Amino acid sequence: MLRATLEVTLMLLGMIAVGCFMAKRPWFSGGKEMLHVLLTKVLLPANIFHAVVTNFAYDLPLGEVMSKWFYALIILSFVLLLALTMVRFVGIDPFRRSVVVGLITYSNVVLIGFPIIQSVLGAQAITYGVFYFTAFQLFFWTTAPVVLLRANGEGVGEILSLAGLKKIVTPALIAVVLGVIFAVLRVPIPAVISGITGEFTKATLAMSMLFIGTLLAEIKLAGLREYAGDLLRAALLKNLLMPIVSLLLLRLLPLDELGTITYFLLTMMPVAVNFSVITYDYECDYRFCSVAMPILTLVGVAAIPIYVVLLDWLPNLI
């Protein structure tokens, strides 16, 4: 399990390194902006739609599916509210608070999370993983833009204005909503459409890592010292505080042991790649996020065996 996770992490870091190399080449002039548009307008929406309609639990009653989504949304909302509260009391730079909130709240469900739950819990955990993933996509693409817009000083009135809603209603959010509608209504997807979105899905991860690499290329090594304090605080919040409070909350939800453990592990996974991409879109401190993403991923991977040990205590907690 640990070896497979480390291999995934090294793969991510390798693609990020290629992106850094590309950004330094004269032939890549303007490539960062092109990658960003390709990701946000085409690849990420196709990836999300394909994942939702492909992995939906079609064999289960809709009421059971909705209840599992609801429990996932509860834990995600709690983690977000706790993160929004804690960043105000631990000395994080106000300009970076929204980015740290995202680093704490939004986890890498598929690339790292699914292999982990399958290796630790077996294939039966994937069903709960799909419930969590679908709820996570809806939660991420509705709350993350609001968190980042608030960081730019936009009030509730501005966010709910027509201009503000245009920033929230992104192609990715539309893809989530359409995917859920198609899945719930059991609308068959034409093979051509499924094939196109599936091929785009294969390219999404690599393009995301290359894009993050182009952002990292803008960072001066001498300037990394200014990030050290906030990186340490973010790591402690994500990997020390959140596991404790998440376990305490999950014991209150009417989930069986498999569902509780699955939701816990997925909530504790390292930061979602998509969050690093959209910080650039919303003009937040994307340089800090680009530095924090690979570092916190390494820290998060190192913490996974600790979470697995904690799970031995879980039957006594629920």
Instruction: From first to last of the 318 residues of the chain, give the pLDDT tens digit.
Output: 556 656 766 777 788 889 889 988 888 887 888 888 888 888 888 887 887 788 776 677 878 888 888 999 999 999 999 888 888 888 888 888 888 998 889 988 876 777 677 667 776 777 788 788 888 888 988 888 888 876 655 554 555 555 556 666 778 778 888 888 888 888 888 889 989 998 988 888 788 878 878 877 777 665 677 788 888 888 888 888 888 888 888 888 888 888 888 898 888 888 887 787 788 777 777 788 878 877 887 787 777 777 776 666 655 544
pLDDT of residue 196: 92
> Which pLDDT does position 222 carry in this prediction?
59
State residue 5's pLDDT score.
59
- At residue 92, the pLDDT reads 85
Q: Are 211 and 16 in contact (CB under 8 A)?
A: no
Spacing of C-alpha 216 from chain mean position: 19
Q: What is the CATH number of the domain that holds 130?
A: 1.20.1530.20
Domain total of the chain: 1
**Predicted pLDDT at 318:** 47
Residue 310: per-residue pLDDT? 67
Q: Which domain holds residue 197?
A: 2-316
